[in-house]
Amino acid sequence: MIIFKAVECGDLAEVKELIANGADVNKMNDYGWTPLMIASQNGHVEILKALLDKGADINAKGKYGITALMVASEMGDLKIVNELLSEGADVNARDDYGWTALLASSKNGNIEVVQALLTNGADLNAKNENSKNALMYAAENNHGNIAEILIKAGSNTEPLYQELRALTELLNNSLDAKAFARSAISLGFNVINEGPMGLHMESPKGHFMLFVAASIHPTSITTLVYMNKFTGEKTCLVDGGKKQY
């Protein structure tokens, strides 16, 4: 049995025998994966330990630049992640597309893994080739608990406030309630509730909520509140017809 198959099957005894007979613990298979990456993907902690004990490169990069820690983080396997971190895995290693372990775990909603990576020095604001950080992926995939953790840890919230600047630009041009609503909809905001007191709108990715209230005269905005759904933070942009920034 070749080492890759033994690792995948979780056969610790066979893995140890193969290593004793000269199997290369750092060899890559046809898919560009090392035995350590395969152990990480399949959650085989004892095999992972055996491979590391025999010299497996913990930070080896496979096809597309992936590492064992990235694999474990994407899988959400906390035990494997903790073992790799304790043995010195590079928490901020990047693949060929700029992805890190934190980016992958934030996108997939693995809150315990996110916390472990942060505790071990993961870069909160690392961006991949799409210029997205962990907070953006957590927000886009509706992982509010992870978004909250990242924000409290000091993540850059600037990308999420781009929508706010777009709305501010609309306000600079006009306080016409109907025109504003049409413009917000054109930006992708959805009306989720419409009543006599005003409109409730939601941003395209569900990051923010808007409350737009009009006066008796329907063309004048009297109140516009912009609320961050993850932090609960509210920003009053218009109060009694006066703009506030």
User: Are 55 and 172 members of one domain?
Assistant: no
The pLDDT assigned to 174 comes to 60
Whether 237 and 245 have beta carbons less than 8 Å apart is answered as yes
pLDDT at 144 over 90: no
Q: Please choose, from the candidates 181, 186, 182, 138, the residue with its C-alpha nearest in 3D space to the C-alpha of residue 160.
A: 138
142 and 30, same structural domain? Answer: yes
pLDDT band for position 244 (cuts 50, 70, 90): low
61/69 Cα distance (integer angstroms): 10
Does residue 101 contact residue 85 with C-beta atoms inside 8 Å?
Answer: no
**Which among 138, 156, 174 is the end of a domain?**
156
- Answer yes or no: are the C-beta atoms of 138 and 106 closer than 8 Å: yes
Q: What is the value of pTM for the model shown?
A: 0.74
d(CA 176, CA 178): 6
Average pLDDT of the residues in 163-178: 67
Query: What is the percentage of the chain residues whose pLDDT exceeds 70?
Result: 84
| Count of all residues that appear for the chain in the document | 245
Q: Are 112 and 119 in contact (CB under 8 A)?
A: no
pLDDT of 102 reads: 98
30 and 106 belong to one structural domain: yes
Domain boundary among 156, 179, 209: 156
Residue 201 has pLDDT above 90, yes or no: no
Owning domain of residue 110: 3-156
Q: Residue 216: is its pLDDT beyond 60?
A: no
Q: Which two tokens stand for residue 236?
A: 């009053």
Are 25 and 75 within one domain? yes
Beta carbons within 10 angstroms of residue 19's beta carbon? 20
Question: Side chain identity at 219, as an amino acid letter?
Answer: T
Residues 6+ apart with CB under 8 A from 156: 124, 125, 133, 135
Per residue in 108-128, pLDDT tens?
999 999 999 999 999 999 999
Question: HSE (CB half, 13 Å, CA atoms) of 101?
Answer: 36
Assign 137 to helix, strand or coil. Answer: helix
Same domain, residue pair 174 and 57: no
How large is the average pLDDT for residues 183-189? 74
Which helix (H) or strand (E) is 225 found in, with range? strand 221-228
Asked if residue 28 and residue 140 are part of one domain, the reply reads: yes
Mean pLDDT computed over every residue of the chain: 86
CA distances from 121 to 64, 76, 102, 116, 125 (A): 23, 18, 10, 9, 12
Question: Which band of pLDDT confidence, cut at 50, 70 and 90, is reported for residue 206?
Answer: confident
Question: What average pLDDT score do residues 57-63 get?
Answer: 96
pLDDT of 34 reads 97
- For residues 32-59, b (16+ Cβ closer than 10 Å) or e, as one string? ebbbbbbbbbbebeebbebbbeeebebe
Q: Is the dihedral of CA 21, 22, 28, 31 positive or negative?
A: negative
Are residues 66 and 92 located together in one domain of the fold?
yes
Question: Which three-class secondary structure state does DSSP give residue 235?
Answer: strand
Q: What is the pLDDT of residue 82?
A: 98
Model confidence over 83-112: pLDDT tens digits?
999 999 999 999 999 999 999 999 999 999
Residue 163: per-residue pLDDT: 61
Domains of the chain: total: 2
Out of 156, 174, 197, a domain closes at 156
Residues 203 and 148 in one domain: no
Instruction: Indicate whether 31 pLDDT > 80.
Output: yes
Is the model's pLDDT at 233 over the cut of 80? no
Tokens representing 146 are: 């992870």
